[in-house]
Structure 1
């Protein structure tokens, strides 16, 4: 019997493949002695295998490609895969799985096309080729491909989570290796050139070192959410062996002054050579290095500069300044002994582009990450990725660090004076709602102005609505209402300005399918006419507080006479909210009002759950052990629509394993009824739980308890 095939050479055509994979700028690809293959996941690459001794026999030779990733490759975790080559394989490429197909063959070699799935881990992979004979008792022969193989994110592939639909922008946000970072205070900021240098030969290896020193599991390195969060953690070295040491005190003798860096490459090279954090960086340096790493990995990234940036140290969504009885500013925060709020002239972070499958639809796209150490998040100095859409809408219930980013761009500047009569110990004497986040800048795509700022692009409106508008106030108050400490700060009135009283009526129980109203009662206690702007809205939310859909919104202006009362009302009909309900059918009512003359602003909310019918479980109070007992589940469809894709789930410890009972479509108002049998296995009091779900109606539940008896007793 012929022995296993011997492999003379495996060749991955690093230079040839790099063009189609848009990795031809990487220096590693063009190394004369050892060119490194750099591929993008979800895209085919060509490779060849040359045999020695004899030719490949289709029916007898078994050849496998074994790709491995990380310290402990594991097929279950997606860090190891074995692909058996089949000359007869004709199935199409699958972007969710590894693929290998024949392109051609000669007397002593085969040419293959291979692709990695769009969710595979990103970084260094190794390759082994295993040969054996069908039905042979000989152990397989292994050939090790000696070079590293890099697989990167693929923002050109629509199935990759970092896909950017406008491919022209990828020339800027992935392939451009020199850019600008806007630094300096409001009114005199300038674009500082920065060499990102993401294609330099040291960048990918130093990024791999960074990941190796992090706590990010190998299997998570294909997830751009976890990867960029790790980058925000590891670019600074505050609580790990990250890349840069931050310093702002002007003492840089034992390192490089932040202003001396021209780009990221020297920093990355020093980090790679010494495997130790580099001295020193500041926010714009951290951002520049983060951009380099993201673009090298294939994650679209841009540098973002926030002019007049808030550092909210105590999660109040405010920047608080305190004054003593003599109107002198205190040099500490008396309400936050662990730290104090601050305002940076400018602060620089990054936006990264990705889908967010962990959030409701509409919150993908640009996400903010901040590699500058300011506050801990989940125990580490890391920040983001925070959806810009969530920041703009004040959705602090979303991952990650939305509240901190909202404060950075839109906190109110509040000034407080000692007041022993106040519950807080201080009285608010002034509030500036326009100071923070004066302008947010990035570099405009396709343009580079070495002598000016013609390449500056303002993106403030991507982070927040225009200052002073109802939308801007509404988003901020959305965040305040979901931040416990912030409520106390924003609830305290401006002295002498609160002469209108507002009350949001709480709703009684609303059955699903019924209409409801948002009602606000207003009383003008002043002797003057007041002009009021009001916004009423209703939306569906998840039980975690995450907003799902806006159902209805009404806003307008009206005038109130002295000592008068007014009632605002917005009716929400069933047809307006039924399609927008999410699981548990929780709705949130919002009301925000501003008095033009006094700038008094009031906001309130009310959460309530639309009630749905319960499943009625018909079962005897006592049932015998070991015998089949009939059980009936029923409820009436409360909707004026057909329920489709219906099913019951039935479970009860010791009563039955989870059962799924499919059910036919249900007409509007019809009774839903299903019968099954259970066989108890233990005596005593037992519980049974049922749920019903359909495409149109979810979270219908019911439960019952029974006594299981032994007839022999």
Structure 2
């Protein structure tokens, strides 16, 4: 009897001994269950990286066996500088007997001696970011031990694999492309000469995830707002450029880059994001639209938002919210440069991000335009989007965010205004098919170019497309434009006599005019050839001409114009020619031979790189920049 009472006392003593956490294993290595199931095994990080709305496991070693009837254990997660339970940034996770969906909860799924295995669930609306984590225990009487904090943070990302996450994408091949693919192509040039630029997105590289979350912290937005992808992409659209918030990249279209890196030198995002993060938020010099887009793709994919880079050719920049691209002419049909603020870029690159839009009418979800290139301010900040592609297609420019600006980029009419005797302007010509051609992105699962123009606009000059344009313009600053009807019975067409010319050669243009009326028409053709940056910004006029024409009823006439294309090599890369409505770019080709020997991870490999100069002039001050997945750093070679 004495022995049995002693045993009972010993057991009671054990029950009332406070439960202590000795160690926590977050099962965070790239080969373990958490990383594999959450599709985060490719991140180069020592932290646990998980996606919201999905369970993850952890092992906890305790000071004694866990008794579910008497012991209490809870997880504690804190996000941001001012964690708050009411705002969802201070999360207390209780133990439950059965896991339910859509909430924070944990369940003991395995117990061996003094070790337990927990399955932890998070809601599909949880804020993303870096959570500080600890485990707290207490006795039935409420006496608590000091919380145990492992030397590790938990990174929470968006989850395109979770049906209840607003970034859910139901096609596995598209998820692989738009979330997991860390290499891609960005398109440039003109709609008649489309080139592609390989880009290393590098979203899984070491230090890139902390750099991306650093951007959200630098934005100053509360952590509680980081569960909404609409809010997150809008914040990041602002933070990837630098004019008003010391964001990642400084834009530069001047052609002078001596105090930084020329935009054309970048071939990936990792080096840019790493520089910004390691220098404490000092903007990196310099970027142009494809660089802004490449970095945006990297950041969004890193955080789990399906994203792609998109190139629009003949892309308009509307400066006065007219939703038209306006060209102002004087009484003699000469351009009035100080009035011509709108421009047409040979190409412009932005991003599509995939998400639901519960803040908009049904059908507006899916791809959303996000543009980090600083062009115009939105609510006082240089940013753009997210604008629903479906809304853009239908001219529903009254839907947020920045839909009017995007609509003008892809489907505005080009309107020519002439100054009258009283100083006012009247429209003299509307060109309908001038803006938004060959909208392009890399195809899913291949290096082919996919034309997605049909997603952004109905077929040109179709009834649906005209309704979209006129609907949009009702909300612009020139709302009455399409109430004016004017007949134009003289048509003009400009075509290239042969294939696209190269620098140093002549451009031969065929100009065809036709009088479709039953009366004599006397008029003049005013033409000029100008040098412009690819953004459509005027640089210089190289030729100007005026040809008087007299056409009999229903008569046509054809004439030829020849323009010599000569330009200083120092202006070659950032500048293109615009001849009437045709622009030219120079394509340079880089060829790499097969590697010499086998390519083995961790071992040196030799490869021969051959560069061919396609121009008829000598290139000077040549530099080669090498970047690729797995290379330790970007390498630059000065060739001379």
Same fold judged by TM-score > 0.5? yes
Q: Deviations over 1:524-553 (max 9, x none)?
A: xx999xxxxxxxxxxxxxxxxxxxxxxxxx
Q: CA offset at residue 492 of structure 1?
A: 4.1
- Quote the Cα distance in structure 2 between the aligned partners of 1:64 and 1:270: 39
Q: CA offset at residue 495 of structure 1?
A: 6.2
Match of 1:487 among 479, 489, 492: 479
Q: Which ranges of structure 1 fall in alignment gaps of 5 or more residues?
A: 29-34, 335-339, 449-454, 498-525, 529-713
Q: CA offset at residue 211 of structure 1?
A: 0.8
> Aligned pair in 2 of structure 1 residues 265, 445: CA closer, same or farther (>3 Å)?
same
- Quote the Cα distance in structure 2 between the aligned partners of 1:297 and 1:368: 17
Tell me the secondary structure at the aligned position of residue 189 of structure 1: strand
Tell me the secondary structure at the aligned position of residue 272 of structure 2: helix
User: Structure 1 residue 165 and structure 2 residue 170: aligned?
Assistant: yes
State the match for 1:379 in structure 2.
380
The answer (yes or no) to whether the contact 2:250–2:287 under 8 Å persists in 1 is yes
- Quote the Cα distance in structure 1 between the aligned partners of 2:455 and 2:422: 42
- Quote the Cα distance in structure 2 between the aligned partners of 1:139 and 1:63: 10
- Quote the Cα distance in structure 2 between the aligned partners of 1:349 and 1:190: 16
- Quote the Cα distance in structure 1 between the aligned partners of 2:266 and 2:17: 59
Match of 2:462 among 456, 466, 469: 469
Q: Deviations over 1:436-476 (max 9, x none)?
A: 0021000001002xxxxxx1000000000011111111011
- Quote the Cα distance in structure 1 between the aligned partners of 2:190 and 2:317: 15
Q: Deviations over 1:239-292 (max 9, x none)?
A: 102110101111111111110011000001100111211101000000000000
State the structure with bigger RCO (CA 8 A, min sep 6), 1 or 2: 2
Q: CA offset at residue 426 of structure 1?
A: 1.1
Q: CA offset at residue 332 of structure 1?
A: 1.6
State the match for 1:119 in structure 2.
125
Q: CA offset at residue 58 of structure 1?
A: 2.2
State the match for 1:406 in structure 2.
407
Match of 2:298 among 292, 297, 305: 292
Q: Deviations over 1:334-366 (max 9, x none)?
A: 7xxxxx111100000000001110111111111
User: Structure 1 residue 429 and structure 2 residue 428: aligned?
Assistant: yes
State the match for 1:551 in structure 2.
none
Q: CA offset at residue 386 of structure 1?
A: 0.6
Superposed, 1:177-188 pairs within 5 Å as: 177-188=182-193
State the match for 1:348 in structure 2.
349
The answer (yes or no) to whether the contact 1:307–1:440 under 8 Å persists in 2 is yes
Tell me the secondary structure at the aligned position of residue 290 of structure 1: helix
Tell me the secondary structure at the aligned position of residue 199 of structure 1: coil
Match of 1:58 among 64, 68, 86: 68
The answer (yes or no) to whether the contact 1:50–1:109 under 8 Å persists in 2 is yes
User: Structure 1 residue 262 and structure 2 residue 276: aligned?
Assistant: no
- Quote the Cα distance in structure 1 between the aligned partners of 2:154 and 2:426: 62
State the match for 1:21 in structure 2.
38
TM (norm. structure 2) is: 0.72
State the match for 2:210 in structure 1.
205
The answer (yes or no) to whether the contact 2:316–2:342 under 8 Å persists in 1 is yes
Tell me the secondary structure at the aligned position of residue 183 of structure 1: strand
Superposed, 1:540-689 pairs within 5 Å as: none
- Quote the Cα distance in structure 1 between the aligned partners of 2:41 and 2:144: 39
Match of 2:100 among 90, 93, 97: 93
- Quote the Cα distance in structure 2 between the aligned partners of 1:254 and 1:185: 29
State the match for 1:8 in structure 2.
22
Q: Which ranges of structure 2 fall in alignment gaps of 5 or more residues?
A: 1-12, 490-516, 520-640
- Runs of 4+ aligned structure 1 residues displaced above 4 Å come to none
Give the root-mean-square deviation of aligned CA atoms: 1.7
Q: Deviations over 1:491-522 (max 9, x none)?
A: 4443668xxxxxxxxxxxxxxxxxxxxxxxxx
The answer (yes or no) to whether the contact 2:20–2:145 under 8 Å persists in 1 is no
Tell me the secondary structure at the aligned position of residue 27 of structure 1: coil
- Quote the Cα distance in structure 2 between the aligned partners of 1:126 and 1:116: 15
The answer (yes or no) to whether the contact 2:318–2:343 under 8 Å persists in 1 is yes
TM (norm. structure 1) is: 0.65
Q: CA offset at residue 139 of structure 1?
A: 4.2
